[in-house]
Amino acid sequence: MGCASSKRIDVAVDVYRPAPSSFAVFDINAIDEPWFKVDDTQEQQQEKPTLMPAPILEKLNAIEDAPRTWDEVSKALEDLRPTLHRPTPPAPNPNPVPQPPAQDRPAAVKEAPRKSFSFHTLAELETKLSSKQEQLKKTESLRTELKKPDTVKTELKKSVSMKTESLTAFLPPPRTDSEGYKPVKENIFVLKDKLEREKEGKPSLVKFDPLSDYPEKCPPGGEDLVVLYTTSLGGVRRTYEDCNKVRSILEVHRVVFDERDVSLHGEFLSELKELVGEGESVPRVFVKGRYVGGVEEVVSLNETGRLGRMMNWARVERGVGRLGCDGCGGARFVPCLECSGSCKVVVGDKKERCSKCNENGLVHCPACV
């Protein structure tokens, strides 16, 4: 007995044969399809394009039996080679222009002779060497003369003197001290015009005063100042804004002005009423004793540029002014030191009105007044 695996088993196995539809048995040549068939008659009818030029083809067609070797072809096409590879020469001019001989040609047409730096004989070499030696001697003599300071100075003086003499001949004679420049007032035409105006009874020309158009209304102590009446109360909004606008315009021009706030001191309000009347309100501007106007007049003058010219002509003070005061900061008033702004003082057993401050308990700033 033995193991079952050691026994020989004979199994009948058929050989693998692919199916008729597989690629192994598929023969494309066996298919007879109309688009796979090639018609020989169509190929013969279609002429293949040739890349040879037309004259060569004509020559080949003219030959009955075309040669089969390259030597025979080259011999047959020798007459066509110049036309293919060489350009045709230009046709001769039937009416040629005769040119003059070289002697009769102008200098611009003649060819310039080329310079020859070589020598042919010993005499030419000696002449060249002698000329070079003479040039070297001249340069050395010039160097020695230039090194001498006296000779250079004398030559410079001579050249300067000659130039000055030539220039003085064209310049006018110099002025004497008595013939100094005269002012414009002493001009002949100005004096003549002045005399004619005096004869006719007309006033002489006077420089225009831009402040002459405004009425003379001078606030107390404002003969040489710019006085501005304003208010610091904001009860009436439009009045308060107009005062700020006029103040900012004067500050832009850097004009030192005396601002008088009618809300801080009653005397300022009474001064303004005496100057412009009861119905007028602040702001009001006065320039060196002349009443300029309110906010509308100042704004229009500023927009047209007349305000700056007016201030320049009046020669008002420029700078910070009272705005730079450390005591009041430009307010011009400080609280009273006696009553501390209460307007009342104690005298014995009674309270009396303070005589040093105003109705608001303020006094003038001792630093800026």
Q: Give the mean pLDDT of 81-92.
A: 59
Cα 263 to chain centroid distance, Å, stands at 54
Q: Give the pLDDT confidence score for residue 108 in this predicted structure.
A: 47
* Tens of pLDDT, residues 161-179: 777 776 666 566 665 554 5
The C-alpha angle with vertex 247 and arms to 241 and 253, in degrees rounded to 5, equals: 140
Number of H helices, E strands in the chain: 11, 8
Whether 255 contacts 224, CB under 8 Å: no
Q: Is the pLDDT of residue 22 over 90?
A: no
d(CA 313, CA 299): 19
Instruction: Write down the pLDDT at residue 270.
Output: 93
Question: Average per-residue pLDDT in the chain?
Answer: 76
Q: Give the DSSP letter string of 60-121.
A: HHHSSS--SSHHHHHHHTGGGHHHHHSPPPPPPPSSPPPPPPTTTS-TTTSPPPPP----SS
Residue 200 vs residue 285, higher pLDDT: 285
Please tell me which residue, 227 or 3, carries the higher pLDDT value.
227
Is 77:59 a contact under the CB 8 Å cutoff? yes
In this predicted structure, what is the pLDDT of residue 205?
A: 59
C-alpha closest to that of 257 among 301, 287, 218 = 287
Rounded to whole angstroms, the Cα distance separating 251 from 270 reads 26
* 202 HSE (CA, 13 A, CB side): 9
User: Residue for token digits 């004679």?
Assistant: 173
Enter the pTM of the model. Answer: 0.46
The C-alpha torsion from 220 through 223 and 228 to 233, rounded to 10°, is -10
Domain ranges of the chain: 210-319, 324-369
Predicted pLDDT of residue 340? 87
Contacts of 267 (CB under 8 A, 6+ apart): 358
- Mean pLDDT calculated for residue range 24-50: 57
pLDDT value of residue 297: 95
Q: Residue 173, preceding bond cis, omega within 30 degrees?
A: no
* pLDDT value, residue 124: 80
pLDDT score at 249: 95
Two tokens at 205?
A: 């020309």
130: phi then psi, degrees, rounded to nearest 5: -65, -40
The owner of tokens 């006033």 is 203
Cβ neighbors of 151 (< 8 A, separation 6 or more) are: 145
Read off the tokens for 227: 């006085």
Q: What are the φ and ψ backbone dihedral angles of 117, each rounded to 5 degrees?
A: -90, 5
State how far the Cα of 242 lies from the Cα of 75, in Å rounded to an integer: 118
The predicted-structure confidence for 283-336, as pLDDT tens digits, reads as follows: 999 999 999 999 999 999 999 999 999 999 999 999 887 777 888 888 889 999
Check residue 336 and give its pLDDT.
Answer: 92
- Reported as a pLDDT band with limits 50, 70 and 90, residue 253 is very high
Tell whether the model's pLDDT for residue 346 goes beyond 60: yes
What local confidence, expressed as pLDDT, does residue 223 receive?
92
- What is the per-residue pLDDT for 230? 95
Return the percentage of the chain with pLDDT > 90, whole number.
Answer: 27
Identify whether the C-beta of residue 284 lies closer than 8 Å to the C-beta of residue 250.
Answer: no
pLDDT score, position 114: 58
Domain over 210-319 is classified CATH 3.40.30.10: yes
